[in-house]
Amino acid sequence: MKLILISLYIRSWLKSRHSRLVEPSDFFVLSFLLIYVPGFIFNPSGQTTLNGLHLPSEAATRAEIGMLIMLAAGSTVFILRRYAERRFDSLTRQVQEISTKRSALVIAGIAALCLAVMFSLLMISPEFRKFKLDILRFFSFQFEGSDYRRLRNESYSDGWIIEGILARARFTVLPILFCLVLYPLLEKKRLIFAAGLAALIFVALPASLSKLPIFFFIGYAVILGACRYPRFLDIRLLAAMLVIATVIIVTMLVVLYTAQYQSAVINGTVLPLNLAIERIWGETYSVIVRYFTVYPEMLSHTGFSGINLLAKFFGLPARLPDIEVAKVLLGNDSGSNPGVYFLGGYAAFGMPGLVAYALLGSLLLWSLDFLGRKIRVASLRATYLAVVGMNLVFLNQIALHTALVTYGIALVPIILLCLDVLVRRIVREENCQAHRSAYS
């Protein structure tokens, strides 16, 4: 049954595509298949040596059923998408692109000014200055494991600037500005200068003590650069690149873990390669089984209390399923256990919630592809593909409702569509004025 549904999911996804060019949803589909399917097939029990948990077989069975439901829901939406897009041409029609060097430079200049103003204002805060010094120490491998955990979990956990402003902007506003600044340089093939500027912007603002932003901002830059050459946006090439990227990520994690646990590596008590492999494939699927272990056997389903925005709206006490799962199974101060997007629905409402989130997630992928085809300004279209495509990868580790609000999957398309309308109107007015001047 597993292999049949996995094959159906892949086949229906491929059949639903109307061209070989990459669209935002492809980043989630490929990353989901790469991250979760190996564990689903080869390690359905969710047991790993990394955490030493003994998860019940009943929870593993429910987790398998949950994965099968997600694959079935995704396949259904892909089949519906294929039928609808072949029946109604307007769903796949891509508007003509507007590409002017002047507009790209003006947009890049405004974006650079916004970044400079944001950085200058934040530098007023002593908390932000100390945070950036710790970031530089982190990148220069000056932290041992205990220092790193203390700084990450305690020093900045309650700061309104770090956890309030930067955390909200890191994967929403900042990636948009980051891409808009780099686009003219990549278009002119100034790759070295673009790489240097990208590193400067990243360290100045989005960088944190987490490794995750490093991978995502590299992804934004790579996809943005690929938009300069359409042949690099072939789905087959993307699949190959993701496999290569996985190898690179494993290598980078090995380097980072080696630096983070220097003494333990020298003593032979920590093997960085094993740690990286279990962190990527073992722990990711294990988290799914953990949710089915905790709910509803150990804790009741959260209901609307597990959806922070709705909990505030209804005046309910907020519950955080990712933290609850970690606390129940791993103890206090064990961080969080974020999982694939449909787990938020399961934690809140059980299997009905899982089915609803699985369907809504698949429909969201379809709608984001549709909206991306309606952007006409070249730099904004490339930014849309880079930011939305990469941010959809968050659905592999964040509940659907959290990804929509906190990780920009709802906000980024709205911002870019509004900017597209504004820039088109300005270009249209300039063309009209130039036309009138020519005949006056």
In a domain, 168, yes or no: yes
pLDDT at 130: 83
Please name the amino acid found at residue 418: C
Q: Is residue 377 part of a domain?
A: no
120 contacts: CB under 8 Å, gap ≥ 6:
none
Beta-bridge partner residues of 21: 234
pLDDT tens per residue, the chain (440 residues)?
A: 899 999 999 999 999 988 888 999 999 999 999 999 988 988 888 887 777 788 899 999 999 999 999 999 999 999 999 999 888 877 777 666 776 677 888 899 999 999 999 999 888 888 888 888 888 877 776 666 556 566 655 555 556 667 677 888 889 999 999 999 999 999 888 889 999 999 999 998 888 777 788 889 999 999 999 988 878 889 988 888 888 888 888 888 888 877 777 666 666 655 777 777 777 887 888 999 999 999 989 999 999 999 888 888 888 898 999 999 999 998 887 778 888 999 999 999 999 999 999 999 999 999 999 999 889 898 999 999 999 999 999 999 899 998 998 888 999 999 999 999 998 888 887 777 766 666 65
The confidence score (pLDDT) of residue 224 equals 94
Closest residue by Cα to residue 131 from 76, 195, 228, 203: 203
In the chain, the number of structural domains is 1
Position 143 scores a pLDDT of 63
Residue range of the domain that includes 140:
108-270
Residue 158 forms part of a structural domain: yes
Q: Which residues, 6 or more positions from 287, have their beta carbon under 8 angstroms from its beta carbon?
A: 46, 325, 337, 338, 339, 343
Amino acid at site 204: A
- Report the pLDDT value the prediction gives residue 62, as an integer from 0 to 100: 95
C-alpha span between 291 and 294 (Å, rounded): 5
| Residue 30 is assigned to a structural domain of this protein | no
Distant-in-sequence contacts of 161-168, Cβ < 8 A, 24+ apart? 161/122, 161/125, 161/127, 161/128, 161/131, 162/127, 162/128, 162/131, 162/208, 165/122, 166/122, 166/205, 166/206, 166/208, 168/406
What HEC string does 109-167 produce?
Answer: HHHHHHHHHHHHHHCCCHHHHHHHHHHHHHHCCCCCHHHHHHHHHHHCCCCHHHHHHHH
Q: Which of 363, 330, 325 shows the shortest CA–CA distance to 346?
A: 325
The closest alpha carbon to 421, from 382, 375, 372, belongs to 375
Q: Looking at the domain assignment, is residue 297 inside a domain? A: no
Inter-axis angle of helices 212-226 and 378-392, to 10 degrees? 140
- Whether 389 and 382 have beta carbons less than 8 Å apart is answered as no
CB 349 within 8 A of CB 392: no
- Determine phi and psi for 152, rounding to 5 degrees: -70, -40
How many whole angstroms separate alpha carbon 265 and alpha carbon 4?
A: 42
In a domain, 174, yes or no: yes
Q: If DSSP states are collapsed to H, E and C, what string results for 338-376? A: CCCCCHHHHHHHCHHHHHHHHHHHHHHHHHHHHHHCCCC
